[in-house]
Amino acid sequence: VLLIGPAGAGKTTVARLWAARRRVPTAHVSLDDVREWVCSGFADPQAGWNDHSEAQYRLARRTCGFAARNFLANGISCIL
C-alpha cells in the first residue's frame, strides 16, 4: 500500500496504525525515517529545496522501494 498526501496530513499515523492492526506480518516503510538515516550532511528540505535535498529524497525513495521489495519477497506486507 502506498500512502500519498500533503505534509502533516497524518500519513505516518495511519500507516503505523494500519500496519499494527493487520493479521498478517506487515512492515511500515517510512520515507521520513529513511531520509533521517543521513546523520551528517542531512539536507533538510524545510530549510530550502536544492540539489542536495532532491538527491537525498530520490535516494530515500529508492531505498524504500528496495526495502519493500525485500519484505514482500519474504512474505511480509508493506505500507509506505
DSSP state of 45: G
3-state secondary structure of 18: helix
Instruction: Please give the span between the terminal C-alpha atoms of the chain, in angstroms, as a whole number.
Output: 6
Q: What's the CA gap between 47 and 45, in Å, rounded? A: 5
Q: What's the CA gap between 23 and 32, in Å, rounded? A: 25
Range 73-78 average pLDDT: 98
pLDDT by residue (tens digit) across 37-55? 999 999 988 888 899 999 9
Q: What is the pTM of this model?
A: 0.86
Q: CA quadruple 17, 18, 21, 24: dihedral positive or negative?
A: negative
| Residue whose entry in the numeric block shows the C-alpha cell 525515517 | 33
State what percent of residues in the chain have pLDDT above 70: 100
Residue 59 has pLDDT above 90, yes or no: yes
